[in-house]
Amino acid sequence: MRAEQVTEPHAHHGEGPVWDPSWGGLRFVDMLAGDILTADLASGEVERLHVGEVAAAFRPRTSGGMVVAIERGFALVGADGSVDRLPELWDDHGVRMNEGGCDPQGRFYCGSMAYAATKGAGTVYRLDPDRTVSVVLPDVTISNGLAWSPDHRLAYYIDTPTGRVDAFDHDPDTGLVVDSRRPVVEIPGEWGGPDGMTVDAEGYLWVAMYGGSAVRRVAPDGTLDGVVEVPGVKQVTACTFGGADLDELFITTSREGLSDDEQPTAGAVFSVRPGVRGLPVLPYAG
């Protein structure tokens, strides 16, 4: 399969796409610009909302608006675009939030990383609906994709330098069962680095390959099932299903570290219809 470009390269470091009908379709982040972009897929244009120094990850809220992971913590964005920053979680300016998602009970998880990608400098945090924050998983390096199985019994997680996808049991009352962590997919180095991830309605994982010009569909047992090529772009960052029937895979890309004349479509959004459907986005219950 081969993806097609559906927006101009609006983002420097495009990441974290989310489809939700409540806001009319597709949003994604220009992470290091601190912006959330709403895409008009008919025109290919975008509208920006600035939320902070970093816009790492976000999800819709059941009460309207969004929950967002910003540089050193969380923020709540109203339906009117107002930004309510919650207290910072750390004061080290060398560490920032990176990627996250909500569990089926509406708790928002996001993991951090050092700007220098220092080993073990990151932490996965959880923001509960009552706005309390807890540490879920310390000592991670580049905390990335996080997604739940269709039956909500498993959570899949990527810490990019490990070169794999891990699984955790999920408990409805307590969330991720940390001591149940085990590897489920080993990513060969020639594929690139595993980055963002989504899960389809059949329970298969779609993993964006940073440096690999592709998204790979992988069975829960680790078997490679399919490849979506992203032409002209090496740094493929994340993906999500969207469209009226959740049958279109939207893929974000990055031009971080590239010169102006390298990979001119890097930073654009691409899409493909792979013949399977995704799952509705899990919202934040706060």
Residues annotated as catalytic (active site), given as ranges: 195
The response to whether 15 counts as a known ligand-binding position is: yes
Calculate Rg over the CA atoms of the chain.
17
Tokens of residue 43, six digits: 């025109």
Q: How far apart are CA 285 and CA 74, in angstroms?
A: 14
Identity at 165, one-letter amino acid code: V
Place of tokens 């060398």: 94
The response to whether 98 counts as a known ligand-binding position is: yes
Tokens of residue 273, six digits: 């219809």
Q: How far apart are CA 15 and CA 13, in angstroms?
A: 6
The response to whether 53 counts as a known ligand-binding position is: no
The response to whether 99 counts as a known ligand-binding position is: no
Q: How far apart are CA 111 and CA 67, in angstroms?
A: 14
Kindly tell me the sign of the dihedral angle through the C-alpha atoms of 167, 20, 253, 113: negative
126-to-79, 97, 102, 203, 265 alpha-carbon distances in Å: 22, 12, 9, 24, 35
Kindly tell me the sign of the dihedral angle through the C-alpha atoms of 73, 17, 32, 145: positive
The response to whether 153 counts as a known ligand-binding position is: no
Label residues 35-52 b or e (16+ Cβ within 10 Å = b): bbbebebeeeebeebebb
Please name which of 98, 101, 22, 26 lies closest in space to residue 58, comparing C-alpha atoms.
101
Three-state DSSP class for 31?
Answer: helix
Residues annotated within the binding site for substrate are: 96, 98
| Binding positions for a divalent metal cation | 15, 144, 195
Binding residues, by number, are 15, 96, 98, 144, 195
